[in-house]
Chains A and B, each alone.
Chain A
Amino acid sequence: MSKSDSQHKAQAAQSMPLIQGYEVVIGFETHAQLLTKSKIFSRASTHFGAEPNTQACAVDLALPGALPVMNKRAVECAIRLGLALGSHVAHRSIFARKNYFYPDLPKGYQISQFEIPVVQGGEISFFVGTTPKTVRLVRAHLEEDAGKSLHENFIGMSGIDLNRAGTPLLEIVTEPDMRSSQEAVAYAKELHKIVTWIQICDGNMQEGSFRCDANVSVRKPGEPLGTRREIKNLNSFKFMQQAIDFEVLWQIEQLEEGRAIEQATVLFDPETGETRSMRTKEDAADYRYFPDPDLPPLVIAPEWIKEIQNSMPELPRSMAERFVNTYGLPAYDATTLTQSPQMAHYFEATVKACGQAKLASNWIMGELSRKLNEENVLIERCPISAAQLGEIISNISKGEISNNSGKVVLEALWASPTTGVAELIAAKGLKQVNDSAALEKIIDEVLAANADNVAQYKAGKEKAFNALIGQAMKASKGQANPQQLTELLKKKLA
């Protein structure tokens, strides 16, 4: 047993609560559409949304005499994932043919990796809430997507769109390591983050760029694995959770009523919130896999892996660790700021501009995120640059403006990002009064006008002090530096 195996067992043992006495076991198969310009075995474009059959060449249409040629960029994507997840990148892997007839499968077989995949093993660690979790990978293999059958608008017939045929996919398969729908969704989110982070997939779930199949089974603790049912094509995190929750309860109910679970492929219907069986194991085809004689073994030179390794971005986990170690951020902040490379880069640029890591984190996770969500803008399109946010934070930390004024500046800057921060502070008269002489003058006037409060304070009523501060702040039209004001007042009253 390897070290990670034993760690995993230990972790699984102390993991999730049982549901009606059953343990839930989930494994994932995810199809990530790879970010390549052309298809996996042809030069046709992979661009989404074109007119049907306008992005299918002789190879994709499986015309007589057409042959597949491997897209090197797709292999690079697989290698990147392997490197990101600590997997073994196979020096030699094999493409096989999976034979079956279907109208949207033009060749009558799908080219996929079967016996020897390009990415082997590896693991993904993440948090479920605050609990750490590690899911082991079995493999990730390259394959081509099929076309689409269109059943609407063709009375009594079906239409076939082969634009998607030959689109490169990486199928990422886990061990059955997840023990709840929460873990499953957290895994899927983490995988989604990684594939987009390393830029091998655009992660667009609506367009089908990231599709998850969940293998779900239940068992009494300590018993062997139960029979699994595979929920196909979960294309949103919300449906994923709903589908698994429904499926788990359905399976438990079956078992409780004395019915055995039959291995099956099921679909989730978001309308009803239920899963229903599509086909059972008995209907399963014999795919007659064999190595594709049109494609020699995929050989990956160690130099190529090294080259790709050098081009890999810092990964979210190590970046979060660095944020904790270098900037002294709490783990929560570090994890939140590494949800996307864009956010992480924005944070680092802000810190660079103002030198205040925790303040930068607070502002990005707080005020800026609120504004981004409100306006539905991605951070990479944020009108306020990291340098500008840094300038706002600098002004606050130096006491030039108050925290509240900072928020006013941010709002104003959002509306008019070309205006300078200093200009906005001046135009809105937000600059705090830091001049002691001016403040002393104000305090003297306030003390003179509020003799009763002074008397109460001297009699031991702390509240009276706050009233005096309030008066002084009012007199300064809110621009007094509160810290300085407090200190001066205390001195005067001493």
Chain B
Amino acid sequence: MSEIHDLSVAQLSKALQTKELGAVEVAKHFLNRVEKDKLGSFLSHNPELTLRRALESQERIQQNQARPLEGVPIAHKDVFVTKDFPSTAGSKMLEGYRSSFDATVVDKFAQAGCVPLGKLNCDEFAMGSSNENSAYGPALNPWNAQAVPGGSSGGSAAAVSARLTPAATGTDTGGSIRQPASFCGITGIKPTYGRASRYGMIAYASSLDQAGPMAKDALDCALLLSAMCGPDLDRDSTSLDIVEEDYTKTLNQSIKGLKIGVPKEFFGSGLALEVKSALEEAQSVFKSLGAEFVPITLPKTELSIPVYYIIAPAEASSNLSRFDGVRYGHRAKEYNDLMQMYKKSRAEGFGAEVKKRIMTGAYVLSHGYYDAYYLQAQKIRRLIAEDFQAAFKECDLIMGPVAPTTAWGLGEKTADPLSSYLADIFTLPASLAGLPAMSVPCGMSKAAKPLPIGMQLIGNYVQESKLLNAAHQYQLQTQWHTMSPEMTGNLT
């Protein structure tokens, strides 16, 4: 048998249920790896608690009361609030903050029998695409510690990739699950907006934020997604009133005759050649499975960047107002009056990127600019969503790159934030439209220390099962998702 940490969620779950492995043994194995980790992917863990929960799972299995994911370890992005671990959202503002309640997603995984390993590093308040905006230092890419793991769910991607946890939660506002999954060579899915509850997710941009699973492959994502989705109408008004679904049921359907759209805007000159050729190879795999490719167009793709960087900061500027130092979180030590307390607390508590987005957001919402920026962006956002609906008349799924390149070097884009904003171009459209989208490993770069390449699949509303089905069929034919940095000797 392979090493415990190389097992997928599906394999682990089976081994646990058949008592081939014990939940405590599994938890200890992963905790041991977490403690040795040098990638900075975890922000907090609590072995005592993890082992207690593992023991409970083990007892349930022994008493034949196992729940679907009993004993499977999971770690949560630090934007999900948890009672058992601090919840910082990667910000100094919330250093040591303890939530009085668990996020719905965290609770759902607990109800499914998952054992929590701890909390994962991310860009501060999920703002960023390199994890370098974390107040607790960046997480590193397991394939090359000089490279970024992507972001904002960089810790989640790095931890799964480095086999520190078999499963992680992430959140995706403009690509924050898909892009790090692509950079770290794992599989991740952002479901339709509203499919997973936002209750207990520390809000960045409410109309875009969506939780999703990150794991080794599509089967694992299907298992995890089935556990975390579902209506939460009493706690999240944007939750979709659609019953839970078992996404594993349709994984093995044939994709013969599946029409996959290829947007020409996703294959322009900005796309790195090695990414392009990896995608072409993936296309031939799909063709061999009987899928057909149809050219489509998403004409507003470029506009998704300015639209996103207006709407998301606008919502963020308001969402982050609650961090005022009054009730919880960082408060400046010295101040003379209320205004100074606000100013100093927020100046000290927030990092540079967060401040930049708060200011951008306040600007685009202010009197006299609202119509020109925010309102205009909302209109284009609707047009972007309409483009997708037109495209889905021609095809069942859309395929393209997740990012124009593989992971870039640490510090490479910090001086030029615009270039990292531009790198979001392929993930933003699906976020703005609220569509489900996923990242699937489909190749490795030719560098001395090869870096993973990801393919993006985008589906129509609530068609997560179609995405997962296609990805699973692809992964039955390919090995990219099984590769780990350890196997290539990259992780030292």
Contact = CB atoms under 8 A, between A and B. Distances in A.
A296 B327 contact: no
Contacts of B320: 108
B322 A64 contact: yes
A70 B322 contact: no
Contacts, number: 98
B103 interface: yes
Given A58-B100, A99-B318, A293-B206, A65 B237 contact: no
B322 A97 contact: no
A324 interface: no
B362 interface: yes
Contact of A61 (B89, B203, B327, B342): B327
By CB atoms of chain B within 10 A, which of A70, A99, A107, A290 has the most? Answer: A290
B198 interface: yes
Given A64-B94, A64-B202, A69 B322 contact: no
Contact of B207 (A106, A160, A293): A293
Interface string A273-290: 000000000000010111
Interface in B42-101: 80-81, 87, 89, 94, 97, 99-101
B236 interface: yes
A337 B342 CA distance: 55
Given A64-B87, A108-B322, A69 B374 contact: no
A65 B321 contact: no
Given A64-B89, A65-B81, A103-B326, A288 B366 contact: yes
A262 interface: no
B374 A65 contact: no
Given A65-B203, A293-B206, A101 B370 contact: no
Contacts of B321: 99, 101, 107-109
Nearest to A102: B338
Interface in B352-374: 362, 365-367, 370, 374
By CB atoms of chain B within 10 A, which of A58, A66, A99, A295 has the most? Answer: A66
Contact of A106 (B81, B198, B203, B327): B327
Interface string B192-233: 000000111111011100000000000000000000000001
A69 B236 contact: yes
A71 to B, nearest CB: 11
Contacts of B234: 69
Contact of A290 (B97, B233, B314): B314
Interface string B174-201: 0000000000000000000000001111
A472 B394 CA distance: 109
B302 interface: no
A70 B238 CA distance: 11
Contacts of A58: 100-101
B237 A290 contact: no
Contacts of B89: 64
Contact of A294 (B99, B206, B374): B206
A65 B80 CA distance: 8
Contacts of B87: 64-65
A287 B235 CA distance: 27
B292 interface: no
A295 B235 CA distance: 11
Contacts of A295: 237
A64 B315 contact: no
Interface residues of B, number: 44
By CB atoms of chain B within 10 A, which of A65, A109, A289 has the most? Answer: A65
A97 B326 contact: no
A65 B202 contact: yes
A111 to B, nearest CB: 11
A63 interface: yes
A293 B370 CA distance: 16
Contacts of A99: 317-318, 321, 365
A106 B314 contact: no
B324 interface: yes
A160 B326 contact: yes
A373 to B, nearest CB: 47
By CB atoms of chain B within 10 A, which of A63, A64, A109 has the most? Answer: A64
Contacts of B200: 65-66
A86 interface: no
A164 to B, nearest CB: 15
Nearest to A69: B237
Interface string B392-407: 0000000000000000
Nearest to B339: A101
A64 B235 contact: no
Contact of A67 (B205, B236, B317): B236
Nearest to A295: B237
Interface string A294-329: 111000000000000000000000000000000000
A87 B327 CA distance: 41
By CB atoms of chain A within 10 A, which of B81, B314, B326, B370 has the most? Answer: B326
A108 B324 CA distance: 8
A99 B364 CA distance: 13
A382 interface: no
A364 to B, nearest CB: 47
Contact of A70 (B99, B207, B237, B366): B237
A67 B105 CA distance: 14
A381 B199 CA distance: 46
Contacts of B81: 63-65
Given A65-B81, A288-B317, A290-B370, 4 more contacts: A61-B327, A101-B324, A106-B327, A288-B370
22 contacts: A62-B322, A63-B81, A63-B99, A64-B97, A64-B203, A65-B81, A65-B99, A65-B103, A65-B200, A66-B200, A69-B234, A69-B236, A101-B321, A101-B324, A108-B324, A109-B321, A288-B318, A288-B362, A288-B365, A293-B238, A294-B237, A294-B238
Interface of A: 58, 61-70, 97, 99, 101, 103, 106-109, 160, 286, 288-290, 293-296
Closest 9 CB pairs of A and B: A108-B321, A293-B207, A293-B206, A288-B365, A65-B200, A62-B322, A65-B81, A64-B202, A286-B367
